[in-house]
Structure 1
């Protein structure tokens, strides 16, 4: 079966920076619903269109097409007292963007006494990314998956 709209694609991937440093890779395969459901980066989805089991892709994406440009205004310093729990570097939490009201995922990047630095940028923001993937399975999506807009079951979403 070829990858097309409304198919479930299972793949292994590796992501590198432009110098070839490994940034991320799958330990277990991931599955996503193909066809414009925003479950995977658009240029990766485009490259996978028409591929079949065993095929590989390599896509180089500028920051705008990958994880966005780095936005310095998303880095803030907060008082430790605003955090309800022990705070350590790497802690992730949801917060609101002061400018847009949008809910963002922030991570703690520094703890210095009573000051905590948080960053709402994706860790790979501002980077050119090389995405390499191999297709391990392709199947038709179920009616429930199509209604929900994501994959259920192994390597997908669980309710």
Structure 2
């Protein structure tokens, strides 16, 4: 069975930057399971999976534009520390949810000085070309319940 929209895909992956530094991998843990065509993956990887099938292995280079997009300097802001009142142990590297003009967004604290905090709303992998090493473990039809819920269910069914 070939990968197409509304198929469940179970796969292992390793993702690296262009210098082949490992960023993340599922090979030493559980494979990734998702419904293809639902926007769960970055566009470039989803496109590369189209028409692959169980047992296929491949390596694909994905440009930043087809991954997490380019970095935008406007998403880096320095704001008063007072905006974070009530947050204990605020530190560089901490991820927070912030209310913006575009709705709620994840930001990462990248700097702290006196009464100012600098946050970055870019995805940590924005602006980075990626390389994926992929092994397709299984491809099957999604059940009607999985399609209705928008995610893959385990062997015991839905746990929510």
TM-score, normalised with respect to structure 2: 0.85
Match of 2:97 in 1: 94
RMSD: 1.9
Is 2:56 the counterpart of 1:55? yes
Gaps of 5+ in 2: none
Gaps of 5+ in 1: none
Q: Paired residues, what number? A: 154
Q: Which aligned pairs between 1:106-117 and structure 2 lie closer than 5 A?
A: 106-117=107-118
Match of 1:20 in 2: 20
**Structure 2: distance between partners of 1:158 and 1:127:** 35
Shift of 1:62: 1.4
Asked if the contact 1:74–1:97 (Cα under 8 Å) also holds between the matched residues in 2, the reply is no
Is 2:117 the counterpart of 1:124? no
TM-score, normalised with respect to structure 1: 0.86
Q: Which runs of 4+ in 1 moved over 4 A?
A: none
Match of 1:76 in 2: 77
**Structure 2: distance between partners of 1:115 and 1:149:** 41
Is 2:154 the counterpart of 1:153? yes
Match of 1:38 in 2: 39
Change (3 A) 1:102 1:63: farther
Change (3 A) 1:75 1:158: farther
- Paired residue secondary structure (2:139): strand
Shift of 1:150: 2.3
Deviation per residue, 1:5-58 (Å, 9 max, x gap): 211111111111111111222232111101x21011222122212222221122
Moved more, 13-22 or 46-55: 46-55
Match of 2:2 in 1: 2
